[in-house]
Each structure stands twice: as structure tokens, then as C-alpha cells.
Structure 1
Amino acid sequence: MPRRSSLLGVPESIRAEFNERLVKSGFANYEGLTEWLNERLEEEGLEIRISRTAAWRHGKKFEDKLEALRSATEQAKAISEGAEDDEGAMTDALVRLVQEKVFTVLM
């Protein structure tokens, strides 16, 4: 079993900021992002420090999840644009597709 991510010990608000910066940077410059994160943790008086490797692993997982969600959204759009079914059946199919994709991402 893989060990838990050290980023799980980072407060949610700081982790959300970090994730936002990951997206804005195009999932690049992990050196700079890690430096920012550790400075931010220090400002908050937290003793936890994150390695560049841990930041990269977190970023890779986060990027993969975002890509899976983008893919699910594109598939749902394609289904809704291509189907000439009654509205209720369309909605049911889209909900099932999105549920399946979200479940896959979360696992």
C-alpha cells in the first residue's frame, strides 16, 4: 500500500491555493511551487514541509483527475448533442455517465 501524501497534512485552504497555482502554471515549475508552499506553511506557523517529489506526485494525481473530469464532460456534451431521444432518458443517461466517471476519478 502506498504511503499517504504529505500534502494531506496541509490545511485545505492552502492545498486549494496550491492546486490553483498548479493549474495556472500548467503543472510545471514544481521547484517554485514547492518553495511557495513551504513559505506559506511557515507563515502559518506550521512545521510541515513538502518535498518537490511529494508536490509532483500530488500534482500528477490532481492533473489526472482534472483530465478525467474534462473527458467526462466532453462525453456528456457529445451524447446530449448527438441524441434525439426524449429529454428524460437523455438526462438519465448523462447522470449515469457522470456518476461513473466521478466514481472512477475518486477511486
Structure 2
Amino acid sequence: MGRKSSIDRMTPEVKAYIQAMLATGSQTLDELIADLQQRFPAEASAGELPSRSALHRYGAKLDRRLSAIRASTEAARLIQAHAGDDKDARSEALTAMVQTELFDAILLLQEADDPEADPAERVTLLSKAAKNIATLTRSSVNLKQFQAKVEAEARKRALADAAATAETTAKAQGLSAGGVAALRAAIMGAM
């Protein structure tokens, strides 16, 4: 595992301030450095503030994370707006995204050809991934069962509504009680 970035090694107060400033994008890197030197003079005098390149690398990494969060949030919003969420479509989308990421990570791990890689660490990583995949798969199965139940209940309600409407219309048209019962049974039998 690589060394922590200089920003990750900062005090929580300094790190949180850097993250907030980078996330808002309200300052250039040079302005941020000057601001940090004024706000945190003890760290500045000890030479503990990050360099411009460290801020740039950390900012790019933070931006990728924030972009992924924004994309996931927007996807969930779209799913809710266009599909409702009676069937928990957001969870289904989230599960699919996690499954895709885990699959990609395992492929990268398998393709890694680092001669210095510790085989025991690789087995540990694969074991953790397998455990998480099993949990994710159980979650996916439970979600599909829930969705099937919601669909069945919705279909049953729709058929009951259709049968009630047909029964009312048939009675109004003078259909016999036996005919009305047969019509209702035919509609409800479609379940």
C-alpha cells in the first residue's frame, strides 16, 4: 500500500478546511496556499503545509470522488422521478453499480502483474471481495423477491379494480347475476 498523501497526514482541522476549499473551487491553488499560510501559521512555520502539486493531486482525487457522488445522486433522482420507487429501484441501481465496481476491481486485481505483490495480501483482498459479493448477491436476491411481491400485489389490485368495474357495468347493462359472477371469475382467474 502506498504512503498517505501529505494532506491525509494533516490535522483534521487543516484537512477539513482544504477539502472544503477544494470542493467549492472558490480559490486558485496559489490563493489556497496563501490562505492556508495565514490561517495555520504554526503549520506553515513548521513546513507542514502541502505543496501546490500535492494540493493539485488531492484536488483531482477529491473532484473524482465528488463527481461520482453527484452522478450517483442524479441517477437516484432520475430513477425516483421516472420510475417511482415502489419496487425500490434505487436499491437495484445501487446494487448494480456496486456489482460493476467490484467486478472491475477483481479484474484489475487478477491482471495486476506486480512481482512485489504479496500473495497472502492478494488472497486476503479476494476473500474480502468474495464475502462482500456474497452479501451483495443476497441483497440482490431479496430485492428481486420484494419486487416480485410488489408486482404481484399491484397486478392483483389492478385485476380486482377491473373486475369491480366490469361487474358494475355488466349490472347496469342488465346482465344476469350468473353472468356477472362468471365475468368476475373470468377476470379474477387471470391472476
TM-score (norm 1): 0.71
How far residue 93 of structure 1 moved from its aligned partner, in angstroms, is 1.9
Render the CA deviation track for 1:35-80: whole Å, top value 9, x for unaligned: 2224444335873131100011011111111011000001111111
The CA distance in 2 between the partners of 1:97 and 1:42, in whole Å, is 47
Render the CA deviation track for 1:73-105: whole Å, top value 9, x for unaligned: 0111111122156x243353255357x29x78x
SS of 2:68's equivalent in the other structure is: helix
- Runs (5+) with no aligned partner, structure 2: 106-191
Render the CA deviation track for 1:8-46: whole Å, top value 9, x for unaligned: 1111121111111123335x5101112222444433587
| Structural RMSD (CA) | 3.2
- Work out whether residues 76 and 90 of structure 2, in 8 Å CA contact, stay in contact via their aligned partners in 1: no
Q: Where in structure 2 are the equivalents of 1:1-107 lying within 5 Å?
A: 3-26=3-26, 29-43=28-42, 47=46, 48-84=48-84, 87-96=86-95, 100=98
TM-score (norm 2): 0.43
Return the structure number with greater relative CO, CA threshold 8 A, min gap 6: 1
- Runs (5+) with no aligned partner, structure 1: none
Q: How many pairs align?
A: 101
- Work out whether residues 7 and 50 of structure 1, in 8 Å CA contact, stay in contact via their aligned partners in 2: yes
The CA distance in 2 between the partners of 1:25 and 1:92, in whole Å, is 32
Tell me which structure has the larger Cα radius of gyration: 2
**1:96 is aligned with what amino acid?**
T
SS of 1:9's equivalent in the other structure is: coil
Q: Percent identity?
A: 25
The CA distance in 1 between the partners of 2:49 and 2:24, in whole Å, is 22
The CA distance in 1 between the partners of 2:25 and 2:36, in whole Å, is 14
